[in-house]
Amino acid sequence: MLPIVQHPAAAKEFVNDPNRSRWHDQALWFVRSKRDKQAASLPEWEYLRETASGIKTHTIANLAHYLQEFERNATARGAVVHWARDADHHNEIVLRILRDHKTKRIVKSKSMLTEECGLNHYLEDNGIDVVDTDLGERIVQLRGETPSHIVLPAIHIKKEEVGDTFHKHLGTDEGASDPKYLAEAARGHLRDKFLAGEIGITGVNFAIAETGGLVVCTNEGNADLGTSLPRVHIACMGIEKLLPRQRDLGVFTRLLARSATGQPITSYTSHFNGPRDENSELHIVLVDNGRSRLRESETFRAAMHCIRCGACMNTCPVYRRSGGHSYRATVPGPIGSVLSPTRDQNSYKSLPYACSLCGSCSDVCPVKIPLHHQLLAWRGELVGKKLLPLSKRLSMRCASYLFRFPALFRLVGKVGRFALRVLPRWATHNRLNVWTIARELPEPPKESFHQWHRRHRNH
């Protein structure tokens, strides 16, 4: 896990690279634009969002009932259900299953829960060879990094950098950056890993209480390969992934891919209803890791509705310009800025402020989580517990006072504009002026104050 650094300091390197920051911003806005086109193509889009939100609200309110129903039905289908209270317990359960089968090599499809629990490092420390089979995940794994986005884990990496990584680890041609060539090289590399894998580990997009079944959505088919070749399948899921009925699933599959990548549906929507045959095993690990505590919060409970589509990240102006790694959290962006402080308020106290409160995240959320309201609520919580530095609390109090009096606000604006013309450039554009460093402050006029005054007087 990355050491905890507050967001402004962690974002500095990314922001100070204007080419990467601009490219990252444009790439994610392109995905957001595709999402908008897909949403506009469905007249019932808002009805689907409202329905999904209602289903999630009902499920979370009756979570204990549906968890018991899911366990009962999954067990009846031949699956083995494990309960993990936290990340360490989850990792111990997975390691125990691997040791029971004397396994040293596993193949794993994308799972943000296992990232949250730090499973890869834990297994590697215990002598297990872990191979992430999602292409983006494999790229960041080879580079020794963590995903910067929950759907597009390598969105921060340029194709030339991918080429350098593959040349170093896979032996591709030096300087090669053609996406098709690199994808073919990755396919050949991963195919060997699939054949050598002894156990497959996947995440879970949705679990159906009514049937005890699991649903995994991918665009590369790696989850299917990773579970059809090995004899043992371990599915790791947070307890909030439940849906009550099979018929509820259609609402969410119509929302998920359109919100995530702007496509009508994922290329593969794989259903797992117990072990595939009598010689196979399916282990389902249900993980709490603070979710029950979050459920008790009336203010933040709706964050458990999240289906991990990443739409809030694709639209967030702060995320697009500062990169996912600046959050130093498994789940970055607006939803991560809500979830992370619930686990460690002191370490993630800056994240609710990595937000302009524009409300775009709430507008695009397919399950209608009021993200910007929750981020504002977190600010109140953090200030109330005095977790912010005194300088920030005082500056925010001054700003609050200023915004309450329009006449004073206008006066300060006029004084600021006047100061830009009167003061020399070095007084307003220097390293001590944080605003200048972090934002695009208008350049001061080329003419002196006396020239400006003479010109306007003549008019």
- Read off the pLDDT of residues 4-35 as tens digits, 9 standing for 90 and up: 678 989 999 999 998 999 999 999 999 999 99
For the question of whether the overall pTM of this predicted structure is more than 0.75, the answer is: yes
Count of beta carbons in the 10 Å neighbourhood of residue 427: 13
Task: Look at residue 415 in the predicted model and tell me its pLDDT.
Answer: 85
Task: Look at residue 1 in the predicted model and tell me its pLDDT.
Answer: 46
β partners of residue 214: 207, 272
Q: Which fold has domain 42-289?
A: Rossmann fold (3.40.50)
Sorted by where each begins, the domain ranges of the chain are 42-289, 299-384, 393-457
pLDDT in tens, 72-116: 999 999 999 999 999 999 999 999 999 999 999 999 999 999 999
Spell 391-411 as b/e; 16+ CB within 10 A means b.
eeeeeeeeeeeeeeeeeeeee
Query: Angle of helix 179-196 relative to helix 135-142, nearest 10 degrees?
Result: 90
Per cent of the chain over pLDDT 70 is 91
DSSP labels, 5-62? --HHHHHHHHHT-HHHHHHHHHHHHHHHHHHHHHHHT-TTHHHHHHHHHHHHHHHHHT
Q: Average pLDDT, stretch 438-448?
A: 51
Q: What is the mean pLDDT of the chain?
A: 91
Residue 361 tokens read as 């995240």
Task: Look at residue 297 in the predicted model and tell me its pLDDT.
Answer: 94
The torsion region of residue 48 among left (phi > 0), alpha (psi -120 to 50) and beta comes to alpha
Task: Look at residue 429 in the predicted model and tell me its pLDDT.
Answer: 62
Task: Look at residue 394 in the predicted model and tell me its pLDDT.
Answer: 84
pLDDT band at 390 (very low <50, low <70, confident <90, very high): confident
Q: Average pLDDT, stretch 356-381?
A: 96
Query: Using an 8 Å Cβ cutoff, are 182 and 163 in contact?
Result: yes
User: Is the per-residue pLDDT at 249 higher than 80?
Assistant: yes
How big is the chain, counted in residues? Answer: 459
Count of beta carbons in the 10 Å neighbourhood of residue 18: 9
Task: Look at residue 81 in the predicted model and tell me its pLDDT.
Answer: 98
